[in-house]
A and B are shown apart, each in its own frame.
Chain A
């Protein structure tokens, strides 16, 4: 599963991802795992049509994504999710080897973790649990930034 790069970013396919991450990772396929957007026809077509030149964008539900990842494929894929809950659910259904946290906005119950990353206690615990299951969890906003690794304890 080393060809799958997982990023948590509630802005999904925004500037940092399009301008920095996609060229850095050299991927030509992006999968967005999000139940809400996958079931909303207009938003799904909007997101799917917004990929940069030569990059295929697909919006799938969490279940569909899990099934999609199970099929063994060698393509390099950038997998985007909006929330920690989403990746937690996905990690239970399929094997994930690494998670990159790139943007989680402020909301009720969340505290600032690092710059524009805000996490609630519950979310931080989920990440620590996943780290305990040998998933590499890092906070890194742009490719050139230094990674802050979240360890399970």
Chain B
């Protein structure tokens, strides 16, 4: 690895894990192992190997959900390291994923310290505000936390890569066959966990039948992909409603778009234990208040109001921002106090977080990302981009539509959104589609890529890991 490689990897890891500066869709695209593996592959000039290693890491992290800034490991870092190991030491994707697995915990450190260190920026901002200096929110929510993160991600990448090369010098990864079987165990356990979690009586049956069918009849992944895409097109709700501008205040549509744009880019930028997304909320209101108020100190005060604690699911929760903007306009005209607005924000943020996390992170992301994984393991590398792009478009649509409707339709839209999500057909069909996708992916991963003599031993390991996971789950009941 050369210096430019380290540099590009650091920049990429920063960009992917910051979830800022990527319109909020970075978390659903480049942060996912399969995409991160591909980028590492691009940098190290072996895209397919990188993508395959990323796909395996993706299966290990398929049940990944982050709520309120807490999760089990850093899938993006794991995928980068797996891709590098696979390319640099010529390892099988399963071996590379097993070798990279422990590095995921290094990535959590970033999140933990980031949430703590960002408190410092909150405090500096507060201090400047109380000193009547009208601090610029974009510096404390955007620039400084992002610079810090760039530094931290670079350090973590360099440490992780050096550590891995050192490890390879001590114990040559190529000589220890056991890594391959650790990889299998990790993948099988993860698959069983998520099938168990989905809790649908047919999912194991669908999984097993597609697994066997893919092995015996060589069903190609793109056939399943086309089938599922058709189901999605015909079965999902089509209540696309366009918003009309009925307000004729100082706030124009372009201001709303800009505010949405800031929110999507910076929702997690200065994510801190003390305020979580508080500063980001205030940051996205900056241009709105510049329109509503003329005095520098009035603007600063109005922005400061919104730096209070705030936490929601950034895409599902956008109606809150739109609605709050319309309330702020009303407050300006009627000269009301801020208390009522704060109360509404707090009441709505939890609801849309619960609703959002259980939809975008638990259903949309696993469904589309697993389709990309399946296509990649079936060696349809280019096709694998389609589901990822679909996911990104869907997320942007949900968040933009929510923001505008929140402003133009108000609080009633929040009720409607809850109804829409709850009745979403996607939710009903998800367990079946997902089990099938996982079945085909596992079949390809475990029986297509390897040397034939090892099949029997692999089979034994799979049975052992399955029984072990099954017993453990049974014990929990």
A interface residue numbers (CB < 8 A to B): 9-20, 23, 36-37, 40, 42-43, 45-47, 49-50, 52-53, 103, 105-107, 112, 115-116, 118, 141-142, 145
Contacts and interface: CB of A to CB of B under 8 A. Distances in A.
Contacts of A45: 415
Given A16-B67, A19-B67, 19 more contacts: A11-B68, A11-B353, A14-B68, A14-B312, A15-B65, A15-B68, A16-B70, A19-B65, A19-B357, A19-B362, A46-B418, A50-B351, A105-B274, A105-B276, A115-B115, A116-B69, A116-B276, A141-B68, A141-B70
Interface string B79-121: 0000000000000000000000000000000000001000100
Interface of B: 65, 67-70, 115, 119, 197, 273-276, 308-309, 311-313, 343-344, 346-351, 353-358, 361-362, 411, 414-415, 418-419, 422, 427
Nearest to B316: A15
12 contacts: A10-B346, A14-B67, A14-B68, A16-B67, A45-B415, A46-B347, A47-B347, A49-B418, A53-B427, A105-B309, A106-B275, A145-B70
A12 B309 contact: no
A128 B359 CA distance: 38
Contacts of B273: 112, 115-116
Given A49-B418, A116-B69, A141-B70, A14 B350 contact: yes
Nearest to B411: A42
Contacts of A107: 308-309
Nearest to B309: A105
B438 to A, nearest CB: 19
A106 B122 CA distance: 11
Q: Which 6 residue pairs spanning A and B have beta carbons closest together?
A: A105-B309, A15-B357, A15-B67, A18-B354, A14-B353, A11-B350
B313 A47 contact: no
B351 A46 contact: yes
Nearest to B415: A46
A115 B414 CA distance: 30
A37 B357 CA distance: 23
Contacts of A105: 274-276, 308-309, 311
Given A106-B274, A112-B273, A112-B274, A15 B418 contact: no
- B-side interface mostly: helix
A152 to B, nearest CB: 26
Contacts of A10: 309, 346
A36 to B, nearest CB: 7
A10 B197 CA distance: 27
Contact of B353 (A15, A47, A49, A106): A15
Nearest to A12: B350
A64 to B, nearest CB: 18
Contacts of A11: 68, 311, 346, 349-350, 353
A50 B349 CA distance: 12
Contacts of A37: 347
A37 B308 CA distance: 20
A49 B309 contact: no
A52 B326 CA distance: 29
A1 B180 CA distance: 50
A25 to B, nearest CB: 13
Contacts of A23: 197
B68 to A, nearest CB: 5
Central interface residue in A15, A49, A116, by most chain B CB within 10 Å = A15
Contacts of B65: 15, 19
A69 B356 CA distance: 31
A36 B342 CA distance: 13
Contacts of B313: 15
Determine which residue in B70, B119, B275, B344 has the highest number of CB atoms from chain A within 10 A of its CB, and name it: B70
A85 B350 CA distance: 20
A106 B119 CA distance: 11
Interface centre among B309, B358, B361 (most CB of A within 10 A): B309
A107 B344 CA distance: 17
Given A19-B362, A46-B414, A50-B418, A13 B350 contact: yes
B349 to A, nearest CB: 6
A45 B312 CA distance: 19
A18 B357 CA distance: 8
Contacts of B344: 43
Nearest to B274: A106
Contact of B419 (A14, A36, A49, A53): A49
Residue of B69, B274, B344, B354 contacting most chain A CB atoms (<10 Å) = B354
Given A20-B67, A142-B70, A15 B347 contact: no
Contacts of A15: 65, 67-68, 313, 353-354, 356-358, 361
Nearest to A50: B351
